[in-house]
Each structure stands twice: as C-alpha cells, then as structure tokens.
Amino acid sequence: MTDFDNKLLDILTRVFRIERDEIKDDLKRKDFEPWDSMAHLMLVSEVENEFEIFFEDEEVVDIWTVADLKKLLKQKVSP
Amino acid sequence: MKEILESVRNDPSYLNLWSAYKKIQDLNLTVPEDDTNTVRLAVIGSTTLEPLAACLDVKTRLEGFHVETFVGGFNTYRQEVLDKSSDLYKAKPDVVVLSIDAWSILDKLFLSNFVRMSIKERHAIQNELVDSVHSIVSRLESETSALILVNNFVIPIFTPLGVVDNKQKIGLKRFFESTNNLLADKLEKSSRGFLVDLENIAGAFGKSRMIDWNTWYRGSIPFSNDFTPILADEYVRYVRALKGRTKKCIVLDLDNTLWGGIIGEDGIEGIKLGNTAPGIEYVEFQRSLLSLYNRGIILAVCSKNNLDDALKVFREHPSQVLREEHFAAMRINWQNKAANIAELAKEINIGLDSIVFMDDNPVERAQVSQVHPDVLVVDMPKNPRLYREMIENLNVFDVLSLTSEDMTRGEMYVGKRIRTELEQSATSIEDFLRTLDLKVRINEVNDFDTPRVVQLIGKTNQFNLTTRRYTDAEVSDFRKSDDVAVYSMAVHDKFGDEGVVGVAIVKKKDGDWWIDSFLMSCRVIGRSVETAFLAKIVADAKKTNAVRIIGEYIPTKKNPPASDLYERHGFGMPATSDDNVISWILNLDEQTVDVPEWIELTEV
C-alpha cells in the first residue's frame, strides 16, 4: 500500500469510525449513516490539511463515494 | 471505552477527539447511578459548535468523569435559553458553554459603517451587545444551577481605521476591548457566571490561526482544527475546579530545579541563581512559584541533599526568592523520593492526588509516578529557561472563588509546622491542646462565609463524613429552608487565624436531626475542634427538643480519618442502608456531647 493510500485510509477510518477493510471504493454518502454533513465537512478539511490541497465548493458537493474522493485527490496531488 | 480514551490520550488531535466522541456516542452508554462523577455539559451559541463540544466531551472524560453532552443547534441559543421546556433544560446541565460570535449579533454592515458612526452610536451598539449576552446569562442563571462559561469577544486584527484606530475615543479595537470589560463587570459578582477569556487564549495561540476560513465559510465552524482542543482545555479547567479536582501542593526538588547546579558540589557561590543569565531563569521560576504560594498553593521540598547545604541556600543566598518560611514541610535527605512524598502528604495532611511533583531528574519522576499514580508528576522541560513557562501553563490550581483563607494558607501551614514541633515537646495531647488557646466560632453560615463553605463542600475529601458535593445554588436553598441548617465553623489559635474550616448540614425531620454533611479542612485535624462542632449541634438540637441526632457516614477511599467520628462521641446503633450509608444514633435524653475544656466558643 502506498503512503498516499495509507494517509487517506487513516483519515477515512477515523471520520467514519470503521475498520480499514470495511472501507470500499463504492461506499456511498447517501447510504452510509456516519457520512453525514458534519462528517463530510470533517473529511474534506482533514484531507485538505493532510495533502495540502484545496477543494472548490462544487468539488466538495460532488464527492459522493470513496472512489470520487480518491479520483479527485489523485488529480490534485499529481503534478 | 477504555480503549477509545487510551487512543486519544496518546494522540489528542482534533480528528481523534472527534472520532472518539462519535464512537462513544455510538456506544449508547447509560448514566451511572452514582452522580458524583458525572458531568452534564451543554454547548450552545451562534455557530456550529459540535466540534468544540466533541473535544470538551472527550477531554472531560480523560479526566475520569462520566459525561453527557448537549449540543445546541446552529444559532438557536436564544430559543433554547428562553423556552423553559427546551432540550437544553431537559439535559439538566452542570456546565453550560455559551459561545456567541459578536458578528452574529451586530448589524451585517457594522464593520463597513463603523468609521462613519458617531461615538454615541458606537456606545449605543456596544450596550446592546452587552445586554444581549448578559440577558442570556441571567436567564441561564435563574433557570439552571449550572456553571455558565461565556466566551468574551475576540478583538479583530483588522480595523478600517488602520494605525490611528486608537486615536479615536472608541476605535474598532477599543470597541471590543471595552465591550469585554463591560461584560466582565456584569459577571464580576456572579457566583456561577464566568467570562472565559477567549480573546486572551486566542492571542496566546495566534489569532490568525484560530479560525480556518474554509470550514468557517463551508460550515460556520468558528474555530480551527488546532485551536478547538486548546479552547476545550480552558473549559476543562472550570470543570475540574467545579468537581474539586484542584491541586493544592507543589513538591519541589532543589538542585537543577530551584537553582542550577548541585549545591553539594558547586557550593553556594557556584550554583546558578542570580539576576542575570545564567541563573535569572531559576529566579523567575521561583517568582512564579511565590505568586502561587501567595494565592494559597502549599509548597514543600523533597531533595536528595545534605540538609545543611540546602538550608544554607535558603538562609544565605542573596538571590534566593523562596525562603524556609514559604515551605509547609521539607524532606531533605537521602531516602527515596516516593517514601518522602508519602511522608510529606501525611505531615501536611493532604491527599496524594492533591500533589504536583517537580523534579528535573526523569528517573526520580518515574519512580514517584510508579509508586504514586495519583501524584501529578510534571514532565519538566530539559531546558530550565522553559521552567517558568511550564508552571504558568500548568493550569491545575484553579478554584471557582478565591477566599481570604486561600490567600493566607501558606502562613497557616507555617503555624502548623511550629504547632507540630510544640506537640512533640508536650507530654500529653491535652497539655498540648491547652497551650494553643483554641477559639472556635460556630454559627449558621452568613452571607460572607457562604462562598468559603461552598468551596469546602466542593473540595474536602479526608475529614468528610459523606462527601456530598453541593453547588452554590443548593447551599443557598438549604439556607432558605426552615428544615435545614447549614453551620460553619471558624478556628483561631495563638499561632493564627485559620478562618472557616468546618461545615455541617443538618436536616430536621420528625424530631430527629440528621447530619447530612459534616466536614472539616484537614488543616485542623487533631485539635478536637470537631468535638466542639458536634457539641454545638447537640446543644442547638436540645433547644428545639429534638429526640435524636443521626449522623451519616459514607466510607470512601479517602475519608478513613473521619470514620470513627460518631463512635468516638458516643453515637451508637450503627445501621447500614442499601446505598452504603452508615447511620449512627445519639439519643438526646440520655446522651450529650460537651465542648472540650480547652476550647472557647466565641460569638459572631
């Protein structure tokens, strides 16, 4: 597992309070109760701080699954 | 639960605190029946306060409390406070944090138009702002018995007036500064409303970092990830003080702690202690310690040294700030420090959990904390230039009101030391007590002594028969009731005035007087004043033709010194109830308790 995946998983497990192996790419904001608006805000700001990037408001709204977040984040961190 | 808390203890980051809070919520814990260790928190205000509440909740749990937290809605604090049936009141909070952002009350164009406003307009707006907050606090004071922690306002960094902001009678910065002063004035006399100095805490942390503009605009979260736990720490200080978890005594090492170098090797001229560097850092550390002593923190010494070498510094070194007279007790010898500290606690008569230990040597620290987990062993910085900062940031000595007894406690302990010396020379305990010229004043508590009585109820652990903690509000209800009497006892002897050191709460029911609470500061243990105290209660009970006096005793880990009080004074027929309350009975038609002949009862 890369450092990148590790850091992201670390944030996700703590924000969602679940184990690493429970975090799947198709985990959906709409169907997963702990992923409420407060958790979403927390997730976004922790990822921003950890990876020293910045999400546009539209991007924040459009993160619906773990896969969405990963994809967006990869775009941001790769030069 | 233990596991969750252990993980935050190791890494108390914002995300971990929040995650722990959520996990604990998921556990759906039930409230333990014993309420003494429970703290009900409420956090309300004008912004999104769940993150702050989460940090406060978990940090309070880390102090060993069971916690229930109510978080108010976004900017709904007014409704919550005004509506008597709101969830806020249903939560029955012990502590309410009120975090109101000034900008949520001010007009949207306040900043834009400030420069054009007249001085009169500015004052009018200021008064509105103060009244708006104060009315909420007053309402909370009358509707709850909670401690109310009100954030003051952060003075903005920016002002449109630029560098001439303070050339105006009330520039933008002074507007907020004086608003804070007005709020402080309003709350100065309140026993339950406290103005939390957010402005100062933010300044110490760095105002530019106290807010994260991303989360502010996205979710109205008022404090940044790094600042939120720091602010929560500030509230925890009040919780600790409320629950009597206050440290009372600092035990200090000498070499490389109070001065630089080793007195036994470097000699009095060789140690670092003086008004220039190197040595000034130790002098300043001592000055901070003296400031704590002057407000009632007991100081003691525990050092591996030759006694004469060490005393020479106290007596002869021109730059030494702390002198022998500032120390309630000293252990300067070659014994191990854990044993010395146990002796010190016994001599000074305080619990180990009231002690803070400061020593530059990590091995000594480890030994003490292993033997005495209850002692707060401070992780001293390696660099002595940081000692002063360390003590000033420790924040474990808070009390909710400072009484005159607090201010002179140090002197009282010196009196105690001399008394002990006298005791050792007297042939019998009665002879010794006779030499003290003890004078005791016992009466139903007056307004003046009530804050001290509440303080004693909150923090006395050892000579406390039932350890029932009552709030300021409960005590004032007792005082108003005809069926309850709240007594205070003040003690004076030839070495000094101890002030109010004893409290008893008596509940009268069907001709019986129930001693619900009976407690005494450990300072006066061994002077038989408890006998005088009981005698006074007995005499008062007889005056009202009461039949029996029933004394209650609830054993705890800490109150064995009080365990035989009733038995010693002729109470009999002990009965233990289901909730572990042992009641002792004194039949007034057959028995009595007399004031010892060496004690003089004085009138108010």
Q: Cβ of B22 and A34 within 8 Å? A: yes
pLDDT for B515:
96
Pairing of strands B548-553, B582-587: antiparallel
- CA B501, CA B463: separation in Å to the nearest integer? 11
Q: What is the DSSP letter of B29?
A: P
Inter-chain contact B219–A14, Cβ cutoff 8 Å? no
- Same domain? For B307 and B266 the reply is yes
Clarify whether residues B26 and B172 are in a common domain.
yes
Q: Which residues contact B164 (CB under 8 A, 6 or more apart)?
A: B171
Does residue B438 share a domain with residue B310?
A: no
**Is B56 in the same domain as B155?**
yes
Any domain includes B56:
yes
The pLDDT score that the predictor gives to residue B373 is: 95
Residues B282 and B172 in one domain: no
Contact B507, B499 (CB under 8 A): no
Query: Touching check for A48 and chain B: CB below 8 Å?
Result: yes
**What CATH number corresponds to the domain at position B548?**
3.40.630.30
| B221 and B72 both lie in a single domain | yes
Domain count, chain B: 3
Instruction: Please count the residue pairs, one from chain A and one from chain B, whose beta carbons lie less than 8 angstroms apart.
Output: 37
Q: For residue A35, report the phi and psi dihedrals to the nearest 5 degrees.
A: -85, 65
If asked whether residues B60 and B117 sit together in one domain, one would say yes
Residue B417 counted as domain residue: no
Residues B150, B30 share a domain: yes
Contact A38 B219 (CB under 8 A): yes
Distance CA B250, CA B345 (A): 11
pLDDT tens by residue, A18-60: 999 999 999 999 999 999 999 999 999 999 999 999 999 999 9
* Complex confidence, ipTM: 0.91
* pLDDT higher than 80, residue B569: yes
Residue A18 near chain B (CB below 8 Å): no
Mean of all residue pLDDT scores within chain B: 92
Query: What tokens appear for B18 in the block?
Result: 């929040």
Q: Are residues B459 and B553 in the same domain?
A: yes
* 3-class secondary structure, B328: strand
Mutate to test the interface with A, among B1, B4, B14, B15 (most CBs of A within 10 A): B15
What is the reported pLDDT for A1?
Answer: 67
Of the listed ranges B229-238, B415-424, B579-588, the least confidently predicted one is B415-424
Parse chain A into domains and list their residue ranges.
3-77
pLDDT confidence bin for B44, thresholds 50/70/90: very high
CA–CA distance, B167 with B561 (Å, rounded to integer)? 63
Give Cα separations from B265 to B248, B310, B315, B361, B546 (angstroms): 33, 11, 18, 17, 69
Determine whether the interchain pair B15/A14 forms a contact, defined as Cβ–Cβ distance below 8 Å: yes
Q: What is the pLDDT of residues B51-99, one digit of tens each?
A: 999 999 999 999 999 999 999 999 999 999 999 999 999 999 999 999 9
Q: Give the residue carrying structure tokens 């007790």.
A: B329
Whether A57 sits inside 8 A of B15 (CB atoms) is no
Q: Percent of chain B having pLDDT more than 90?
A: 78
Architecture in CATH for domain A3-77: Orthogonal Bundle (1.10)
Tens of pLDDT along B124-164?
A: 999 999 999 999 999 999 999 999 999 999 999 999 999 99
B213 plus B287 within the same structural domain: no
Q: Is residue B225 part of a domain?
A: yes
CATH number of the domain enclosing B52: 3.40.50.1110
The CATH number assigned to the domain holding B327 equals 3.40.50.1000
Average pLDDT over residues B356-381: 95
Domain shared by B238 and B257, yes or no: no
Record the tokens describing residue A71, joined without a space: 């994809």
| B352 & B438 share domain | no
> Does B218 contact A at CB distance below 8 Å?
yes
Three-state DSSP state, B107: coil
- Domain ranges, residue B490: 427-602
